[in-house]
């Protein structure tokens, strides 16, 4: 059983919904990123998604795009992120999932990349621009190294495609709540409930909902609709970037506690 599957199994036994915060590596710097990972880990995060800054982030909204731009301007590179993780992950309870684009993987070579992320203690990968039809080339070698490749299902996915993605996705299945990029929205669209029900009919794998969750009430709503995890990105990235690094770290600690309390079953 992988680290992510093990975490979901424990949560299932306790009838808990997982909280998965997202932050961008290197914004404002990698020292702060390492501190943020530890703070999220100790304030309610069950799994942590860490975005690798990329120059053409097709799936990211303005908040995360801006964070990636700042990180790249500061000189953040994949290798430096992995070196930071190698030092940091041994002290974390929450498994780390890297959010990265496929070109960054191909540039390094799939096997070389996977060896590096495995050595850094990474438990899973989300590659938003990797279509199902091309996933096998990454899925098999990742699985051999105990790294989960987490695939995405969009609201527009057909029933046949949903079933195929559900079969292949490892760790959990990432349900995209909107047709569009990441970002904070005022409410979760009602069709997320329909999507959850549709996917649940074909798999018992954990289902995480992301893209657009930014408020405690929204996290509670997706939990009540049957999600196994609430994934929150832009709201964390924005808080971490506000004020001094110390103020940002304090803000994400408080927000993490509030969100975890919102999805705890009464």
Q: Which position among 27, 49, 148, 228 bears the catalytic label?
A: 49
Is residue 89 a contact partner of residue 60, using CB atoms and an 8 Å limit?
no
Give catalytic status of residue 163 as yes or no: no
Give catalytic status of residue 60 as yes or no: yes
Residue scoring higher pLDDT (199 or 185): 199
In the predicted structure, residue 109 carries a pLDDT above the cut 90: yes
The pLDDT value recorded for residue 62 is 85
List % helix, strand, coil for the chain (3-state, nearest 5). 50, 15, 35
The rounded distance, in Å, linking the Cα atoms of 23 and 6 is 23
In the predicted structure, residue 211 carries a pLDDT above the cut 50: yes
In the predicted structure, residue 57 carries a pLDDT above the cut 80: no
- DSSP per position, 56-96: S-TT--HHHHHHHHHHHHTT--HHHHHHHHHHHGGG-SSPE
In the predicted structure, residue 20 carries a pLDDT above the cut 80: yes
Q: How many residues does the chain have?
A: 266
* Burial track 125-142 (b if 16+ CB lie within 10 A, e otherwise): bbbbebebeebeebbebb
- Of the listed ranges 61-75, 101-115, 174-188, the least confidently predicted one is 174-188
Beta bridge partners of 150: 126
In the predicted structure, residue 123 carries a pLDDT above the cut 50: yes
Phi, psi dihedrals of residue 173, rounded to the nearest 5°? -110, 130
Is residue 238 a contact partner of residue 23, using CB atoms and an 8 Å limit?
no
Is residue 164 a contact partner of residue 172, using CB atoms and an 8 Å limit?
no
The pLDDT value recorded for residue 1 is 62
Q: Which position among 27, 60, 148, 228 bears the catalytic label?
A: 60
The mean per-residue pLDDT over the stretch 215-236 comes to 94
């Amino acid at each position: 059983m992988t680290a992510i599957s093990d975490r979901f199994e424990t949560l299932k036994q306790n009838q808990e919904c997982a909280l998965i915060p997202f932050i961008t590596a290197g914004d404002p710097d990698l020292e702060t990123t390492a501190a943020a990972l530890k703070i999220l880990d100790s304030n309610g995060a069950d799994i942590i998604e860490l975005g690798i800054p990329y120059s053409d982030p097709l799936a990211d909204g303005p908040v995360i795009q801006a964070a990636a731009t700042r990180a790249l301007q500061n000189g953040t590179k994949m290798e430096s992120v992995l070196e930071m993780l190698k030092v940091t992950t041994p002290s974390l309870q929450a498994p780390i999932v890297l959010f990265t684009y496929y070109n960054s993987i191909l540039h390094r070579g799939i096997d070389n990349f996977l060896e590096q992320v495995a050595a850094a203690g990474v438990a899973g990968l989300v590659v938003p621009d990797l279509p199902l039809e091309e996933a096998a080339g990454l899925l098999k070698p990742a699985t051999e190294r105990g790294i989960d490749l987490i695939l995405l299902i969009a609201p527009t996915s057909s029933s046949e495609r949903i079933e195929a993605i559900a079969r292949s996705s490892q760790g959990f299945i990432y349900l995209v709540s909107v047709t569009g990029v990441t970002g904070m929205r005022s409410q979760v669209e009602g069709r997320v409930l329909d999507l959850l029900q549709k996917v649940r009919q074909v798999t018992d794998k954990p289902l995480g909902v992301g893209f657009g969750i930014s408020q405690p009430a929204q996290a509670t709503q997706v939990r009540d609709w049957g999600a196994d995890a609430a994934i929150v990105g832009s709201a964390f990235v924005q808080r971490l970037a506000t004020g001094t690094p110390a103020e940002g770290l304090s803000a994400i600690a408080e927000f993490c506690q509030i969100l975890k309390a919102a999805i705890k079953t009464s």
